Structure 1
């Protein structure tokens, strides 16, 4: 399977009207009360309710919405998944199992023991869930489609450290894999740190929501190469993206919409990178500080992604590399759903910038001459030194 990219397709769905998980029984507290006693051995529903977010990493409201999202495609198939005691799994049971698998980072056997089922059931249910969220949840991961939405994003980015007309922050991270020595493609996935990994590129808005992703490529590829293979790159180069209102600077200079990225990316008219080198003049040093503070949202988004959806944060044992890109995509969708639902569980997470331990920053020497001039004028503008 080829690389996964963030979808542009938008489905019309009312989140607030979609909180019921399907049936009255499953939409009530009865399921969780029974589950907490049977699986967790908790003595009372009140104590069990306090444990919900720690078990599934999402609030009850978000869980119910995810159930409503996955219900039709998951229940359309006739497979009857069972617990070891012979009881059939409800929709909530299956969603709970999949969320536990994706969020805990536990092995198939570990999740199976937790739920009282077998590891093959965990594998099958998780994959069915991935297919369902991929089918029904892509509208949670898309590029802004209206001028008002873009304007809000620009305003929030500018409020961080003053960068105007910024529409996103780009970054990459590595998904680690432990592959079999007999795997014929093992050398393909060996990266510059002698790890086997798959790369994930994301473009993030100021609320740490993923707006575009690319994954599926070997971790040995550098950031610039992954970017250039992306649909986002093609659209931006053709002028079909980041083509909104230009910022008019003093002296008649215009600054088009852009995203920010670190020194591993090329400097382009629509992708602004920091100045490189030491002993930079004050205007460039100040620009780099503003740039770093703005780009930080992408690092934090990736750190949160890996902190919550721990299946992709550790070293994955012999993953199916044709399915892994879709698992990563669904983790990104779930990350966005938590933001869209204003999930209270987010408030309990510790903000960190670390998501790719051991990987040093890359440096790309590719720089568009016009982009370099625009960056200089933007730096002067921000310092108040651009001639009128």
Structure 2
């Protein structure tokens, strides 16, 4: 075994032992721990778990998985795919990179929005949050010596503008492999360490604020998310996806799969969200999601009536449903504001998936920071301008689903919100 991996392994075991010892001592009320001893244990634990050791572990061999699951963000490739020669080169860079200084303030207040897809305050906050993670790994033998802000700027410029690596190389005075590595490393960091920003609320209680938002929007109680399909074009063919969003267009769940002309409903049926909903683990008894005409009716998923009678409760319900689906469609339009998602043809499927997931996480980060830089400017009238109903129901729904939709239709007429 090489010396460096062996040192990392030993350090990891020592840190775990120190942590266990400290927990045992602190959990025993009959033991009085001398302050110097406690402080010494804490200091040693901090030393053995420092970012330097974290960086060193990046060189240990890890077993690759073809299927990446990030809470409700599910990413699946249909077959094994060898890394391209270009990707292999990312790990064998031996050239010295040109040092770059931190980004200087720019006189144009829209500079950060135009080039990085966010305000300068959001950029600074994100750089501070990700600093130890982004700066923890470089390709073997490649002393980048790039500050965190430059690494983040390189990646965000690629995601926000869709600029290719040659353009980024010229703009930031780094090599193309450096620009490629910084972009992909940001994707790894966000999709690995911050997947909880795309996690569907874990209990009916946590969904109540979501439900209240939809009730205020359309007057119907119980809605816990709007579901809408999306499509991305990759070099291996189209990728079909679906997302669930709350009333603010925050993404609550996201799934994408490759190959073929799969519908959004087919992708939905292969997700864990569908399985949890069908088995009653996702929502409470009176809670449901809303979808468009491409989905099927279930007790947990309300879709429009096919060919409603003009002036009826069913027509009112369909109108309410379309308004409630608007935040999910706005989220999709907003995702496409990250220009890289329309320029994925030259990326491998694995990298393209990481870009899609990263943009979804960044979308939620911007909403959390009340930054509307990448939020699509789409009015409700654009999404309500045409009627497209199915000629007939795609399948025979169960009685519970039919009864719930009929009850909500009556409430849609009584609420008079729209």
The TM-score bracket by the shorter chain reads: 0.7 to 0.9
Query: What SS does the corresponding residue of 1:322 show, helix, strand or coil?
Result: helix
Query: 46-55 or 293-302, which moves further after superposition?
Result: 46-55
Residues 293 and 333 (structure 1 numbering): CA distance in 2 closer, same or farther, change over 3 Å? same
Aligned to 1:235: 276
Equivalenced residue count is: 317
Partner of 1:264: 294
Corresponding residue number in structure 2 for 1:200: 241
- TM-fit CA distance, 1:4: 5.0
- Following superposition, the deviation at residue 62 of structure 1 comes to 1.6
Answer yes or no: is 1:223 the counterpart of 2:264. Answer: yes
Q: For the Cα contact (< 8 Å) 1:81–1:88, is it kept in 2?
A: no
Aligned to 1:17: none
Report the TM-score when normalising by structure 1.
0.74
Residue 141 of structure 1 contacts residue 212 of structure 1 at CA under 8 Å; is this kept in 2? yes
Whether 1:154 and 2:211 are equivalent positions in the alignment is yes
Q: 1:7·1:142 contact (CA, 8 Å) conserved in 2?
A: yes
What CA distance in whole angstroms lies between the structure 2 residues aligned with 1:326 and 1:8? 15
Change (3 A) 1:228 1:362: farther
Which residue of 360, 369, 378 corresponds with 1:351? 378
Change (3 A) 1:258 1:367: farther
- Determine the structure 1 residue equivalent to 2:340: 311
CA RMSD in angstroms comes to 2.9
**Conserved 8 A contact 2:308-2:315:** no
TM-aligned CA distance change 1:296 to 1:93, over 3 Å: same
Select which of 379, 384, 407 maps to 1:377.
407
CA–CA separation in structure 2 for the residues paired with 1:172 and 1:122: 32
8 Å Cα contact 2:304-2:389 kept in structure 1:
no
What residue ranges of structure 1 are gaps of 5+ in the alignment?
10-29, 34-44, 180-185, 187-195, 247-255
Question: Is structure 2 residue 342 aligned with structure 1 residue 299?
Answer: no
How far has the Cα of 1:8 moved from its partner? 6.0
Which residue number in structure 2 is paired with residue 68 of structure 1?
Answer: 128
Q: 1:160 to 1:3 in 2, by over 3 A?
A: farther
Shift of 1:127: 0.7
Structure 2 unaligned segments of length 5 or more: list them: 1-64, 74-100
CA apart distance, 1:112: 2.2
Alpha-carbon shift at residue 212 of structure 1 (Å): 0.7
**Which has more radius of gyration?**
2
**What are the equivalent positions in structure 2 for 1:131-170 lying under 5 Å apart?**
131-145=188-202, 149-170=206-227
Which one has more relative contact order, counting CA pairs under 8 Å at least 6 apart?
A: 1
